[in-house]
A and B are shown apart, each in its own frame.
Chain A
Amino acid sequence: MSIEALFLSIRLALCVSAILFVVGMPVAYWLAYSRWRWKFLLEAVVALPLVLPPTVLGFYMLLAMGPRGPLGKLWHAAFGHGLAFTFAGLVIASVLYSLPFAVQPLIASFETVDRKLLDASAVLGAGRARTFRRVILPLSVPGIITALVLSFAHTLGEFGVVLMVGGNLAGVTRTVSIDIYDRVQSLDYASANRAALLLLVISFAVLSAVYGINRRAGRRAWLPWAAK
């Protein structure tokens, strides 16, 4: 098993979780509280990665990040090199791919905060920012942990998008899941098994943690298969 690939996967998952923590919060807040009539369209967009084959998402990301794609051009203008097949490109694609895993649990936990508490906060003189910081956020801690942990775990295990956007460059874009695939291709089953087992254990540990935390908080964890 390649330690390099494992560290790369973990680095990628940490970056993506951190970015999703920052990006997912306002998106989830807006989706939870907005009364805009076309809101459902945005909800559908956010949920897309749940149903889309990773190759489809990866394919369009690759086009966008390529030298003639809008994202690729922008990146080139800013940093002087392309975006496809780089770690940064991988992070961007993974953020999109894991977006619902961060946003959905956040929406679910924002929505369970009693509306009357928000009303009470407003009549006590608090604006939206203060209400968010002092009431919604502290009461959504289990949801926030769920969001962080799920986006970490989901990124750690992704394969299709990485393959499309990142390719297979050792130390740059070769994550554990790609590494496993590589080893199976070269019939190195023993080493593939070690890596696969590790991912299995990590994923199980992470999900147990999510369920455990939500159980202690007295509610059900949001997971994509429990969404409906």
Chain B
Amino acid sequence: MSPAIVAACVRKMHRGDVAHSFLLDLDVELAPGITILFGPSGAGKSTLLDCIAGLTQPDAGRIAIDGEVVFDSEKKVSVPPQHRQIAYVFQSLALFPHMTVEANVGYGLLDAPQQARGRIAEILQMFRVEQLRERKPREISGGEKQRVALARSLVTLPRVLLLDEPLTGLDAQLKASIIDDLRAWNAAHKIPILYVTHSREEVDALGERVIALERGKIVSEGTPREVLDAPRRRRLAQAAGFENLLGGTVMDLREPDGVMRVRLADSPCEIEVPLGHAAPGDRVRIAIRAGDILLATEAPKALSARNVLEGIILTLERRGTLVVARVDCGAVFTVHVTPGAERTLELAAGEKVWLVLKTHSCHFVEG
């Protein structure tokens, strides 16, 4: 990994109402390139960004950018935001409404006007908004605003770029094209980019190093696959899109096979899941994606999948290009099927079906 440019060790009481107060306690290092900060809303993601930017002060800790200490609670150092040479794009973008696109982009430049104009033109072109130069923020579209906000931040040649869910509300294609332009810019400048999101899709699409945050703590770190596929905590599992989160009790461990059997709570159903740190009798949770479950209208035979459960369809609901079925097998499962499958199998509420779960689609969640 390339050398860290930002090193932040931050402790700060995060105050919401009683239920949402927790201690933000993090130690992160950012290397050049995109790092995704992922977690449910209220996990303390924006607070960390505010601390790095200097908009809020940690209760304790130390933050260094490019070797320069910008905050140190012990040495009583706190460089004000305007001297930190960083860029921060807020979720609201915060474009100055009374200024044109060009004036917005030039706001952070203290160069001579002639020189500034050249740099503004260059970055506007890079982010494909040069034709909007004379417009006011209210006269341009959401995607264009996001491009202008990025251009405004990057034209100052910051040492770090902080992005707080800057692309929410854009369709996937537009998002991808903006991110491509951002990557192209960063190929030349190589600064760390901290990208905050609570969207699983964005994490998948960006495909870079992920830090998963929950209630102020780092709960996992790694590639998107590693972080999204092995959730270790319940709330993160929900954030990561596991529609089925079932309580159960460990029955027995089969270590040679690398599996254990879990009886789902209040039901006779037993399923086989990958071996985890648990002992027989332990209460555990199993997370399964609705899209990972197969649905059959006849009892399946000769399958590699170890878990076949018989049940009754409770409800079927069409959501866009998705059909959401709720199936009672003792425990209630949510299953996603395509509208085509719904038609071919002639699914209907009250019908008897079989659910097929691969062992490795059943994720063991502690506690």
Contacts and interface: CB of A to CB of B under 8 A. Distances in A.
Contact of A125 (B55, B82, B92, B98): B82
Given A123-B55, A123-B88, A124-B152, A116 B94 contact: yes
A134 to B, nearest CB: 7
Interface residues of A, number: 16
A139 interface: yes
Nearest to B91: A116
A123 B86 contact: yes
Given A122-B80, A126-B107, A139-B97, A116 B92 contact: yes
B87 A123 contact: yes
A116 B90 contact: yes
A123 B98 contact: no
Contact of B108 (A114, A124, A138, A139): A124
Name the residue in A124, A127, A139 with the highest tally of chain B Cβ atoms < 10 Å from its Cβ: A124
A126 B152 CA distance: 13
Nearest to B158: A123
A110 to B, nearest CB: 15
B96 A123 contact: no
A114 B98 contact: no
Interface residues of B, number: 24
Contacts of A114: 92, 94
A125 B110 contact: yes
Nearest to A118: B94
Contacts of B108: 124-126
Given A127-B82, A134-B107, A122 B55 contact: yes
A119 B80 CA distance: 11
Contacts of B97: 139
A119 B107 contact: no
Given A116-B90, A116-B94, A117-B96, A123 B84 contact: yes
Interface string A97-141: 000000000000000001011011111111100000011001100
Contacts of A135: 96
A94 to B, nearest CB: 33
A137 to B, nearest CB: 10
Interface string B74-100: 000000111111111010101011100
Contacts of A122: 54-55, 80-82
B53 interface: yes
B156 interface: yes
Nearest to A114: B94
Nearest to A120: B94
A88 B153 CA distance: 50
Contacts of A127: 80, 82
B110 A123 contact: no
A7 to B, nearest CB: 38
Name the residue in B80, B108, B110 with the highest tally of chain A Cβ atoms < 10 Å from its Cβ: B108
B6 to A, nearest CB: 15
Interface in B123-157: 152-153, 156
A123 B81 contact: yes
Contacts of B90: 116, 119-120
Contact of B88 (A117, A120, A126, A138): A120
A138 B98 contact: yes
Interface in B44-86: 53-55, 80-86
Given A114-B94, A116-B94, A139-B97, A121 B55 contact: no
Contacts of B85: 125
Interface in B340-366: none
A114 B96 CA distance: 10
A116 B89 CA distance: 10
B94 A117 contact: yes
Contacts of B92: 114, 116
Contacts of A116: 90, 92, 94
Contacts of B86: 123
A90 B158 CA distance: 54
B96 A119 contact: no
Contacts of A139: 97-98
A133 B316 CA distance: 59
A125 B108 CA distance: 6
A119 B94 contact: yes
Contacts of B94: 114, 116-117, 119-120
A142 to B, nearest CB: 12
A124 B88 CA distance: 8
A141 to B, nearest CB: 9
Interface of B: 53-55, 80-88, 90, 92, 94, 96-98, 107-108, 110, 152-153, 156
Top 6 nearest A-B pairs by Cβ distance?
A: A124-B108, A120-B94, A116-B94, A122-B81, A123-B88, A138-B98
Given A123-B86, A125-B83, 16 more contacts: A116-B92, A116-B94, A117-B94, A121-B96, A122-B81, A122-B82, A123-B82, A123-B84, A123-B87, A125-B85, A125-B110, A125-B156, A127-B82, A134-B107, A135-B96, A139-B98
18 contacts: A116-B90, A116-B94, A117-B96, A119-B53, A119-B88, A120-B94, A120-B96, A121-B107, A122-B54, A122-B80, A123-B54, A123-B84, A123-B86, A124-B87, A125-B83, A126-B82, A138-B98, A139-B98
